[in-house]
Structure 1
């Protein structure tokens, strides 16, 4: 069959190239099709391995986060202490002390208030239904605006998970799947507080693995680099530079997002204290976790605050909570996001804002999550020449 399409000379060249395993010596079009096929096969196998290990990706991700942040701290202490082992012990000692203080003083209160909120959630929703009924009876315009929607319907729409059409809302029909969806969404969020023991175990394992990696990082790096001298060097050459470059960009992004989450939590906690809100620890913990969820995180963290405020003091306190949350998120979006992302990812604040806006419009939540690190990686590494990319990495 091959002799019908290729002359004997081409077949002999193909056989000689296969013996030398040098794709550049293959006759056209094999000289460029085979390298492309090899690269595709390598990346397919890589993503297949990630899929098979999907149950461990949470632990792997946390290990990467702790290792990246702590390695950053270890390098930052290099000008003060020459011993890498001593610097590693200082950094991880500080991290473990912070985690121990959190587990001792805040974790029990977080769990207590989280479980209490979950138990009282039906009562909070019932209170909201009562307030809505009062508004409907006093103001016909409210009744025209809300229709037959109850508290659960409103929360569903705020979270953007309702599938009801305007005709369904006017007719008063509702789908049971929506209620199951919102219960599952809140259950996943509040389950973190209810199952702090398992979450703490994952954190402990991640810190342990990160400590072992950072402590022996130079030797690990040499061991991985030795793969270039093995028979699978083609896999190393294809994957190593891309994974390292994107990992560095992603690490900077996570570091920046963590700082924003911390600032957001501190400002919101101060606002809640000034308003005299109950369940402060639980609400602050919810804000911190939801700060890592673009767009939807704002609603997820605001909904519990509004329910607690409404049950505690009525619509007046809830209005002040909404004002406070609006101010905090305006500061976050237009001040802290550009400043912190620009400093960590070496991007102009105007470009950061543009990427966030365009990414959300084009790709929704995924555009916000991956837009900034993806653009930084593409322009700073992927399309640069090797020498320029190395300079950008430094």
Structure 2
């Protein structure tokens, strides 16, 4: 509709003047790029919304019919595809005991981090706490790197509202919260599941983001830990 309006002739003097300014300044190109970006952005958001809705519906059906599902699935154990079923059952148990537990622990850590950080930001009188808390929660799902990424917007906002001293305060707050995560939450919740060096963590995050996008930052570490468990990679001390 915008392109149709711009290409049609107009008799009004003011409209012709505005259209002439738009044509000379090449504003129409910027408007077209902006509308294209917004269209792609909202179409992407709709796809994510459909995926979330479908996952919630499937989860609801799974929980409602869980005993019936277990009973029906166990019939494959005595069928002609029993060897294939046994392999799937082995990997499914490993997946539940590693991937599911790690994701659950990461969600709890992200919630605690989000609560503590939001409380600190409220005390420091930060604006738009709701948006910042959502951002901090989703970045908290990313192991190690999430804290570093969340520092970028927080430092920018802190410098805007309070100068360099506010930046120092937010750095101290994030260091304290990261220490609570590293020395209290991670040992208690993760135990031996994600006992990975930081170098391995960053390498896995880089590869998972390259192949799986943003979701790879969240599920990359649990998938890597799942493969370690399948390959039986353990600490010698724990084996002995």
TM-score by length of 1: 0.41
The aligned residue for residue 204 of structure 1 is 53
Partner Cα distance (2:163, 2:44) in 1 = 31
Q: Quote the offset at 1:362 in angstroms.
A: 3.9
The aligned residue for residue 204 of structure 2 is 366
The answer for unaligned runs of 5 or more in structure 1 is 1-186, 382-394
1:258 alignment partner, one of 107, 124, 130: 107
Q: With a CA cutoff of 8 Å and minimum separation of 6, indicate the structure with the bigger relative contact order.
A: 2
Structure 1, residues 21-41: CA drift from partner, whole Å, max 9, x if none?
xxxxxxxxxxxxxxxxxxxxx
Cα contact 1:295–1:365 (8 A) shared by 2: no
Cα contact 2:155–2:170 (8 A) shared by 1: yes
Residues 266 and 196 (structure 1 numbering): CA distance in 2 closer, same or farther, change over 3 Å? farther
Cα contact 1:283–1:301 (8 A) shared by 2: no
Residues 337 and 363 (structure 1 numbering): CA distance in 2 closer, same or farther, change over 3 Å? closer
Q: Quote the offset at 1:377 in angstroms.
A: 6.0
Q: Work out whether 1:274 is the aligned partner of 2:112.
A: no
Partner Cα distance (1:254, 1:315) in 2 = 36
The aligned residue for residue 177 of structure 2 is 328
3-state DSSP of counterpart to 2:141: coil
Cα contact 2:110–2:137 (8 A) shared by 1: yes
Written as runs of structure 1 = structure 2, the 5 A alignment for 1:1-394 is 198-342=47-191, 347=192, 355-356=195-196, 358=197, 360-362=198-200, 364-366=202-204, 369-370=221-222
Q: Quote the offset at 1:295 in angstroms.
A: 2.5
The count of residues paired between Structure 1 and Structure 2 equals 180
Cα contact 1:309–1:321 (8 A) shared by 2: yes
Cα contact 2:109–2:181 (8 A) shared by 1: yes
Residues 215 and 238 (structure 1 numbering): CA distance in 2 closer, same or farther, change over 3 Å? same
The aligned residue for residue 75 of structure 1 is none
Runs of 4 or more above 6 Å deviation: none
Residues 373 and 337 (structure 1 numbering): CA distance in 2 closer, same or farther, change over 3 Å? farther
Partner Cα distance (2:225, 2:80) in 1 = 37
Instruction: From the CA coordinates, give the structure whose radius of gyration is larger.
Output: 1
Cα contact 1:249–1:377 (8 A) shared by 2: no
Q: Which moved more, 1:322-331 or 1:234-243?
A: 234-243
What is the CA RMSD across the aligned residues, in angstroms? 3.1
The answer for unaligned runs of 5 or more in structure 2 is 1-36, 206-219, 235-240
Q: Quote the offset at 1:374 in angstroms.
A: 5.2
Partner Cα distance (2:171, 2:85) in 1 = 52
Partner Cα distance (2:181, 2:230) in 1 = 24
Q: Quote the offset at 1:300 in angstroms.
A: 1.7
